[in-house]
Structure 1
Amino acid sequence: MKKSKRKSTFKREILFPLFVFFLSVGAFAQSISISGTVKDASNEPIIGASVLEKGTANGTVTDLDGNFRLNVSGNAVLTVSYIGYQSQEIAVKANHTFDITLKEDTKFLDEVVVVGYGTMQRKDVTTSVATVSTKDLDQRPIISTGAAMQGKAAGVQITQPNGLPGQEMVIRVRGNSSINASNDPLYVVDGVPMTSISFLSPNDIESMQILKDASSAAIYGSRAANGVVLITTKAGAEGSAKVTFNSFVGFSNVIKQMKSLNHEQYKELMDETGAISLPEGLKDETDWFKETYTTGVNQNYQLSFSNGNDKMRYYVSGGYTEDDGIIKVAFYKRYNFRANLENQIRKWLKMNVGASYSDYSSNGIISGTGSNRAGVVLSVINTPTYAKIWDDENPGQYYNNFYGANLTHPVSNMSRSADNKTKNNRLLGNISGEVTLTPDLKFKTSLALDRTYYHYKSFLDPVKTSYGREQFGTASDNRSLSTVLVFDNTLSFDKSFNGHNISAVGVTSYTTSDYEYSYQTASHFFSSDIQTLNAANKISQSNGTSGAQWAIMSYAARVAYNYQSKYLFTANMRADGSSKLAPGKRWGVFPSFSAGWRMSAESFMKDMTWIDDLKIRGGWGQTGNQSGIGDYAYMQQYSITRQDWTKEDKANAMITLSPANMANRDLTWETTTQTNIGIDLSVLNNRLQFTADAYYKKTTDLLMDVPLPSTASVSSVTRNEGEMINKGLEFAVNSKNLVGGFKWDTDFNISFNRNELTKLTLQQVYYYAKTSESTSENCVRMTVGKPLGMFWGYISEGVDPQTGDIVYRDLDDNGRITSSDKTHIGDPNPDFTFGMTNNFSYKGIGLSVLLTGSVGNDIYNASRIETEGMYSSRNQSTEVLKRWRQPGDVTDMPRAVIGTQNVKSSSRWVEDGSFLRVKNVTLSYEFDRRLLSKIQLNRLQVYASANNLLTWTKYKGFDPEVNQYGGAATTQGIDWGTYPQVRSFVFGLNVEF
């Protein structure tokens, strides 16, 4: 009996638990087959939706009817996702069949926004951050990242100063904050700060955010005075491997043609002026417009591979871009490669490795300075049509017999441009490791390398051109190597409890830069067969090498707190020490504070169900600037002059040193203090979103190169000189006008900015922009109480019918026209700028229309001085056919006369530069995925696109979006033989499999 009882006890207490254990193990290990359908809210099947067993690489995609079948473990959790829809997690449990409906992703407030050294949910952001949509980048034929942002963000003015292939965009966040220091924003690509993003392919971009106010940008301190553009490149995603191919081919032409005088008209003009005497028998020989301009061809090919699982993700891409310009010899080429790898090595350790390499080259078309016989654009008009391309009497030489006129024709000028080539090789690499110390505490360390090799070479043929023959050919070879290292360490803390949410970040950052440069010039070449410097017989004494180094050490911290995402507060602080500034003045501390109140979360708002979100926010902060000044600006520097060893007095043939500048031991940070208040409103289930911001920016201790009196031993000193303010309003509206089968979305933004220089200390007036060699005048004057870039000159009151001369207003009423009668005659700063995008879609058809515009800005059309001035022997445009010829003529075109009377800097050359432009129109078609699956494709889209399709403007020049001086703050809106913008038509293809 006892034995039997022990036996039964053994079965009950030992065997039964073991049986249950093994049964449960067997059940756990058992694989079950599940199936289901994935649809959208309209009950339409979603083709290609990802169905993944969470925590594994086991997954599939839905078929033509939205169906799927998959073997999973009995306690699996499914993750169902598709682009543009909210992901769902579904427990399998005992179910074997699923009917899943995915909702469109309209959770605007839950969108993750990248901020400095971290991320936040949009609903918790208390600062002014603009997100640039990247969803249509593969449907727009763009090769510049700046172009991807144009017209897309309030408060961000992006212009293309000329149409030269590969030209970088000028980006200004809330106006110009500096005079001589840089006004470009800081770019941070995958955490690596840099000043240029020309190497970056837009197809590699995952997201873009722009930190506009100081309270958002202060975490970057000394380099953030002009805003920060945060760019995250693509990474692999969990699911099936993807291969993506994007390509386009386009054709471009000059938007407008300007007519020049034919030979008969030109001869009549020369007879009037008496500038030169032309022989009889000449006739029209050459259409210089046709010889200069052509149909440009641009093409782009990008191929990428990506995949991932819960442990590792990768993204690899490569591409080629080529843009042959509308001026025959202009070109831009770029090869780009990128690889991003993320590996979850352990639950507590994650590593990221990224590398990109780009090789881009171009040639600079000589533009502007048309009057010094070098500008391609203006010489198309200025060259008489009787001239030929080649000299019949001197084979191999360009035509140069202009009967006393100091001219060269555009083909000759293009030949100089064709042999001026710039090549850059840029390598960026970054590696980071992130350690999860606790669920709430993480430590990340990263090291980044940014290395750029620059090579410029030029060659002037010893035979073709007259100047080349004078020098027996010349060549130059300039090379530089720049290496920037960034070492960051970040400790982050995130904790949520009882409605309280705390996020804190501490950062140390160390940046070093090493720059080396060599410049070599030689002349006297036997022929053009060998163009390297070793084939020259005379080496310039000005050849040499140089180098420079700088470093920045930084400490930064941010604390963000919110209670139930209702009451929000953020504080930043950054301390920077820069080697560019004087000892004792190198450290700057840049704090910021911001707060927000989500009114929509209050109980008194609960009945206003049509309001999804209403948030009021405000912030104050400081940022610094030391970019753009010399690496040793505070030190005494010297100019080196070499003496000629061939002179008889060889004993004194030593180098001589002379002061090049004045040392400044007080040189310190340029500081921008900014206050921002804003409101964010979302209504009607997030179908309408509205954002408004008002800001006030004051920049103190402006870094400037101040000229010194002629009696001083040096010409200038770099010092903290003045103060300037920018203030403005920004509005952005995003709306889903129609939803369902036919969709229509609209994004609109408008920005108002007012700039004023409020203080100058050492010198009160500055002049810039000499735009004609006919006079020594500058057309820009900078002084206190005015915005930057104001045009300066006489007020033109038309043509005197009796004399044919321009009448200038006698402002001081003394009966004479002198320099005291000059005044401000124009303002290049717009009253407001705007952008609007409309997206329409129906089934697979998509239409996108981007409009951009600027209102209230003036342009100084200096090109007209050379094409309508009639002051020399150059050919002119057909506009001068309206010129005054005899007393009594009533016209706005003065008489033809040699001299400067009618070409003074005046309001005659100032024009309204306002414009409305259809910047881009794209029509696309995406093929039905049910058909594509038969040929193993996930996506196939074709599109046709037009850039700069239509422009409404009163401006008489080639294009109102222009500035010969690029992004210079002091000289804006000046057109002087600038490479014109183009209208292009592009055809593209996007494939994914």
Structure 2
Amino acid sequence: MLLIRRFRKYIVAISAFQLMVSILHAQNMPAVKDSVMVIETNVPEKGVTVTGTVTDATTRKSIAGIRVQVENFSAAITDSTGQFKLQVPSYTSAVTVEGEGYNTRRVALKGRRSIAIALLDDEHKSFSEKVTTPLGIKSKTDVTAAVEQYNVNSGWAQPNETPDAILQGRIAGLYAIRRSGSPGVGANLFLRGYNSLYGTNKPLIVVDNMLFDANDYGQSIIANNYTNPLALIDMKDVDNITVLKDATAIYGTKGANGAIIITTAKAKTQATKIDFATYAGFNEAPKNLPVMDAADYRIYLNEILQTKGMSSSAIQAEPYMNDDPQNPQYARYHYNTDWQKKVMESSINQSYFLKVTGGDNIATYGLSMGFTRNSGIIKETDITRYNTRFNADFNFTRKFTGAANLSFTYNEQNLKDQGIADNTAPLYLSLVKAPFLHNRELNEKGVESPNLSERDTLGITNPSAIIEGMQAYNKFYRFFGTFQFNYEISTHFKASSLIGVVYDKVREDFFVPRKGITDDTLSNDIAQSRMGTQVKRLFTIYNDTWLAYNTTVNNKHNINARLGIRNQINKAEQRFGRSFNSATDDLVSVQSGSAALRQVGGGIGNWNWMNIYLGIDYGFKSKLFLTLHAAVDGSSRFGDDVPDGIRTKGKNLAIMPSVGAAWLISSENFMARSTIDILKLRVTYSMTGNDDIGNYNNRRTYISQNLLGAQGLVRSGIGNPALGWENVRKLNAGFDLAFWNERVSLSVDAFRNETDNMLVYQPLSTISGFTATLTNGGKMRNNGVEATLNVRVVNGRNFKWDAGLNAGQFRNRIIEIPNDGFITEYAGASILTYEGLTATQFYGYTTNGVYGTNAEAAAIKKPNADGSYSNFKGGDVRFVDLDGNNIIDESDRQVIGDPSPDITGGYNNRFIWKNFELNTLFTFSYGNDIFNYLRYRLESGSGVENQLVSVNNRWRGEGHITNTPRASWGDPMGNSRFSDRWIEDGSYIRLRSLSLQYNWPVKRSVFLKSIAVYAIANNVFTLTEYKGYDPEFSVTPSVFSQGIDTGLDPQFRSVTLGVRLGL
């Protein structure tokens, strides 16, 4: 007991305020006696009395100790028989019923003098739950906007999840796509589709009332790796996540894509509570892609070298093609290596977490510390996180209060290149490396040495040399802190000011040795070994100061208003250095490279934002609700000549208004006999903005450049002083329905977003020295529908079953764009953006099999760069000649796919039997197309790289009928050009999560209060027709890269065992 007291004093001593408070045990609430306990607040001179009973909807037994209240009027506590008596303004009022372990319910009297209320447990979704809004915490029944909240009760049993990824399949309309299988990278989020082409489509992230920069500012120097700031938040520190889908105008030019509000957990009681959790498990490497074995590859290699022009004798003279066992090189070239198993392996994960909460009447606190290590399925990759958080609430006086939310996190990652990095991405190399080779040096007898083999004579890197020799690190430090001070001026007025500080530092280092790895070609040399380092920093100061007004007039009119101003100052910088060709592979630092080849660079990114906002929420008799929100924004990113907004002091300010209305029909007297618990209609219209237009695109920029020893300035950006924010107009209409004591609830929303002043690139005359400049010259429309259904299917005493289904659909159209449209090239794909069509569609050639004979192909030609033509032959792809001129060229391209899904969503179940709890979560996507870049490379049949086994079905000679073209060195006829050959259906259904938890019965104990043990499996199985590793990936947040599988590390199955102790 003495140790616990000392530990409490230590916790308080390390707080930012350095307050020395005495921590006492919270006093227990007095036992509820048979008499009715009534608590009157602001007792009116007039009122009427209502009586009622509260029962458990499962056991049908009465519940004591439940609070029944009319806000700002009166409250009562149920007695041992579940009865209460309460003064209410009128028989048309509504009462709020809440108690520990039960769902909060808002019940309208509808003229009744006595009511019976049944409560479900708090694990079931309720429309009366409290949700976080820009104006504070409110009952969901009072909100006019489309809002959903995810309560992170199971966050303790969600290993390795990040706040963005954990929302996948849980929120209707939130298209969350895991970036890859690399630990901690999280998900790219698209809330209700796309609102921009070149601006961000990410929702605004707000953590503990402060805007949270979730962007990976500055590009990683480790190929295709992503630093996710949200991975620094431990889900066990999160209390709830609220998703605002519309009516985010109060956030001004930050609210175009909705908002995700993350609230971290605080002490809920004054009693000291200690929670400890730990888990450990393993990650299972995914199944191999079916590439050729050594025998099939040797046959293919013989063919491809013949098409290169080599004679049969010359081919057989190559040591890797000589099958004579007496050949001294025979042993070195007659293995059947599974290179994917040399690169991927099953791995382990582990975590430890400790949280202490408590306090007294002066202060409550929560202190947590965590350690997590998760290894990837690519060998020698992992992430390690150390995190600590301190949250506290202070009562300085009766009217003056404060809060602090402080966190520090350190992430360390061991990484490898991935995706499109032909010489250094181990996963890609494991697919193309010749299988008859070994990863170690061998002598003539085939005896293996400990030394890695060099790159082969075919010019392909040894994947094991990357795994064992490449060093790549990412170290991420973040301090995130907010301090809030509140003062109650009077009964109706309250002032508050929040000050927030963020400091980030990201350091990256890499070294690629020369041993076993293919050289890179520089402009003036050959790069053998290469090394690099980079440091990125972000410093943010944030302030939100506001005055709030709350009142109730005649017990009918509820008014909640807030007037405030937000300011944000951001300073970012990036510095990097690269060098090449150190003397040996033991010298790995940048300074050890050749001075003549050294490269240095960097940049800055400073920007400021101001937001003046007004929010008014009005309620009439708790059944009619109106909202009026507005914001006026200024930003250093806006140009001086922006034509929109209001102009002041030479700058234009953006104006963002929104209105909303809701009618809680179920609270009307004429619904008194209805079995419907909740029936609510909602509509909102808002104008929001997107200020993600670049920090300096509104002005001319210059860079330093050296020419023949002379240093000078060169213009790097032409600048557009008229560049401003994107305007997004949003219209949302929906309804909420619940019945059977809210055992069944349904929400449906339809929305329409229209973006004006959308960022696009306007082509420029060549005389300007630039090809294009960024302008506000586009317009796009986005429509969709979404629905959420939650059902308590079975509500027995020993067995309960909750089921939930959500689904969302969106479809966009380009309304206006310069020159009617454009084509974007990315990773071998052509993406079409054109007026009247859906944005970012795959644009290429359609095919109709393969020519079986030369005669079939004789009439079809391909234009060459020199103006001549080449005739197609037997074995070439039969491209559809759209214009009928017998020439296959760019005029024969058309839309061949759409990466946007027709529908996405999730289906979850929760089964409770006695002390056991089983949870399942399925996620699905339907109708999205994928460009399989890996298959495009592994079925091209144009080089010495190993191929998929499907290439064994290639065309072999006259009359052969197949859909796989002939092997041909260099692909002179363009058989592997971007076409529907590489477009696949990316639809899938995945059992994302399966968990089983047992809540161990604990007898009364001085220390131990609860025990829960659990097992959880993630990515249990996936049903899909997609031929790649994984149908779910997102290379970058850009809309132009969606649906392009560049071979990032795939997601994997994991199984974890854990325990949580409550002390």
TM-score in terms of structure 1 length: 0.86
One-letter amino acid matched to 2:269: E
- What is the rounded CA distance, in whole Å, between the counterparts of 2:186 and 2:888 in structure 1? 42
Would the aligned equivalents of 1:397 and 1:465 in 2 still touch at CA under 8 Å? Answer: no
Query: Which of residues 706, 709, 712 is equivalent to 1:642?
Result: 706
Would the aligned equivalents of 1:166 and 1:362 in 2 still touch at CA under 8 Å? Answer: no
| Structure 1 residues 143-181: Cα deviation after superposition (integer angstroms, max 9, x where no partner) | 311122111111111110311122121111000111111
Would the aligned equivalents of 1:181 and 1:704 in 2 still touch at CA under 8 Å? Answer: no
Q: How many residues align?
A: 903
- What is the rounded CA distance, in whole Å, between the counterparts of 1:228 and 1:522 in structure 2? 42
The alignment status of 1:834 with 2:905, answered yes or no, reads yes
Query: Match for residue 541 of structure 2?
Result: 485
One-letter amino acid matched to 2:440: W
- What is the rounded CA distance, in whole Å, between the counterparts of 2:120 and 2:178 in structure 1? 40
Query: Match for residue 139 of structure 1?
Result: 157
Would the aligned equivalents of 2:403 and 2:483 in 1 still touch at CA under 8 Å? Answer: yes
| Structure 1 residues 416-469: Cα deviation after superposition (integer angstroms, max 9, x where no partner) | 6x4121111000111110000112211001110011011111112254535389
CA distance 1:553–1:724, shift in 2 (3 Å) = same
Would the aligned equivalents of 2:455 and 2:461 in 1 still touch at CA under 8 Å? Answer: no
SS of 1:264's equivalent?
Answer: helix
Query: Match for residue 110 of structure 1?
Result: 128
Query: Match for residue 550 of structure 2?
Result: 494
One-letter amino acid matched to 1:238: T
Query: Match for residue 277 of structure 2?
Result: 246
| Structure 1 residues 329-373: Cα deviation after superposition (integer angstroms, max 9, x where no partner) | 221121111000101111101110111011112244322225x33
Query: Match for residue 966 of structure 1?
Result: 1036
Query: Match for residue 223 of structure 2?
Result: none
The alignment status of 1:982 with 2:1042, answered yes or no, reads no
Query: Match for residue 591 of structure 1?
Result: 657
CA distance 1:123–1:80, shift in 2 (3 Å) = closer
Listed as ranges, the gaps of 5+ residues in structure 2 are 1-27, 35-53, 68-96, 106-117, 215-229, 323-329, 643-651, 854-873
Query: Which of residues 450, 454, 459 is equivalent to 1:406?
Result: 459
CA distance 1:870–1:251, shift in 2 (3 Å) = same
One-letter amino acid matched to 1:439: T
Query: Which of residues 219, 229, 234 is equivalent to 2:260?
Result: 229
Would the aligned equivalents of 1:379 and 1:410 in 2 still touch at CA under 8 Å? Answer: yes
Kindly state the Cα deviation for residue 831 of structure 1 after the two structures are TM-superposed.
0.6
Shifted more, 540-549 versus 285-294: the winner is: 540-549
The alignment status of 1:944 with 2:1015, answered yes or no, reads yes
Would the aligned equivalents of 1:634 and 1:664 in 2 still touch at CA under 8 Å? Answer: yes
Would the aligned equivalents of 1:704 and 1:721 in 2 still touch at CA under 8 Å? Answer: yes
Would the aligned equivalents of 1:679 and 1:691 in 2 still touch at CA under 8 Å? Answer: yes
Query: Which of residues 989, 996, 1001 is equivalent to 1:928?
Result: 1001
Query: Which of residues 237, 250, 260 is equivalent to 1:204?
Result: 237
The alignment status of 1:519 with 2:564, answered yes or no, reads no
Q: How does 1:323-722 map to 2 (within 5 A)?
A: 323-369=374-420, 372-392=422-442, 398-400=452-454, 402-403=456-457, 405-415=458-468, 418-463=470-515, 465-467=517-519, 471=527, 473-498=529-554, 499-538=556-595, 540=597, 542-585=599-642, 586-608=652-674, 610-627=675-692, 629-643=693-707, 653-706=709-762, 708-722=764-778
| Structure 1 residues 753-796: Cα deviation after superposition (integer angstroms, max 9, x where no partner) | 0011211125731322133xxxxxx4322222222221111001
The alignment status of 1:880 with 2:951, answered yes or no, reads yes
Kindly state the Cα deviation for residue 300 of structure 1 after the two structures are TM-superposed.
2.0
Would the aligned equivalents of 1:723 and 1:759 in 2 still touch at CA under 8 Å? Answer: yes
Query: Match for residue 178 of structure 1?
Result: 196
Would the aligned equivalents of 2:928 and 2:986 in 1 still touch at CA under 8 Å? Answer: yes
The alignment status of 1:906 with 2:956, answered yes or no, reads no
One-letter amino acid matched to 2:699: M
Root mean square deviation, CA, Å: 3.0
- What is the rounded CA distance, in whole Å, between the counterparts of 2:568 and 2:1056 in structure 1? 42
- Runs of at least 4 residues of structure 1 off by over 6 A? 31-51, 393-397
Would the aligned equivalents of 2:270 and 2:364 in 1 still touch at CA under 8 Å? Answer: no
CA distance 1:834–1:922, shift in 2 (3 Å) = same
Kindly state the Cα deviation for residue 402 of structure 1 after the two structures are TM-superposed.
3.2
Query: Match for residue 98 of structure 1?
Result: none
The alignment status of 1:189 with 2:207, answered yes or no, reads yes
| Structure 1 residues 49-80: Cα deviation after superposition (integer angstroms, max 9, x where no partner) | 999xxxxxxxxxxxxxxxxxxxxxxxxxxx99
CA distance 1:939–1:47, shift in 2 (3 Å) = farther
CA distance 1:927–1:45, shift in 2 (3 Å) = farther
Would the aligned equivalents of 1:730 and 1:750 in 2 still touch at CA under 8 Å? Answer: yes
| Structure 1 residues 11-59: Cα deviation after superposition (integer angstroms, max 9, x where no partner) | xxxxxxxxxxxxxxxxxxxx999698999777799999999xxxxxxxx
Query: Match for residue 70 of structure 1?
Result: none
- What is the rounded CA distance, in whole Å, between the counterparts of 1:540 and 1:48 in structure 2? 78
One-letter amino acid matched to 1:905: F
Query: Which of residues 292, 316, 320 is equivalent to 2:367?
Result: 316
SS of 2:342's equivalent?
Answer: helix
Give % identity.
27
- What is the rounded CA distance, in whole Å, between the counterparts of 2:103 and 2:411 in structure 1? 38
Q: How does 1:789-808 map to 2 (within 5 A)?
A: 789-802=840-853, 803-808=874-879
| Structure 1 residues 632-669: Cα deviation after superposition (integer angstroms, max 9, x where no partner) | 111111232224xxxxxxxx622132222212111111
- What is the rounded CA distance, in whole Å, between the counterparts of 1:49 and 1:902 in structure 2? 75
| Structure 1 residues 567-626: Cα deviation after superposition (integer angstroms, max 9, x where no partner) | 110000001001011124341000000001111122222221x11111111010011111
- What is the rounded CA distance, in whole Å, between the counterparts of 2:803 and 2:188 in structure 1? 25
Query: Match for residue 942 of structure 2?
Result: 871
Kindly state the Cα deviation for residue 565 of structure 1 after the two structures are TM-superposed.
1.3
Query: Match for residue 300 of structure 2?
Result: 269
- What is the rounded CA distance, in whole Å, between the counterparts of 1:33 and 1:676 in structure 2? 47
Query: Match for residue 59 of structure 1?
Result: none
CA distance 1:696–1:110, shift in 2 (3 Å) = same
Query: Match for residue 844 of structure 1?
Result: 915
- What is the rounded CA distance, in whole Å, between the counterparts of 2:393 and 2:725 in structure 1? 38
CA distance 1:206–1:103, shift in 2 (3 Å) = same
Would the aligned equivalents of 2:454 and 2:515 in 1 still touch at CA under 8 Å? Answer: no
Listed as ranges, the gaps of 5+ residues in structure 1 are 1-30, 52-78, 88-100, 644-651, 772-777
Shifted more, 357-366 versus 693-702: the winner is: 357-366
Kindly state the Cα deviation for residue 307 of structure 1 after the two structures are TM-superposed.
1.2
- What is the rounded CA distance, in whole Å, between the counterparts of 1:383 and 1:607 in structure 2? 74
- What is the rounded CA distance, in whole Å, between the counterparts of 1:882 and 1:473 in structure 2? 39
CA distance 1:39–1:726, shift in 2 (3 Å) = closer
| Structure 1 residues 831-855: Cα deviation after superposition (integer angstroms, max 9, x where no partner) | 1112111000011101101011011
Q: How does 1:3-152 map to 2 (within 5 A)?
A: 82-84=100-102, 104-105=121-122, 108-152=126-170
Kindly state the Cα deviation for residue 263 of structure 1 after the two structures are TM-superposed.
2.2
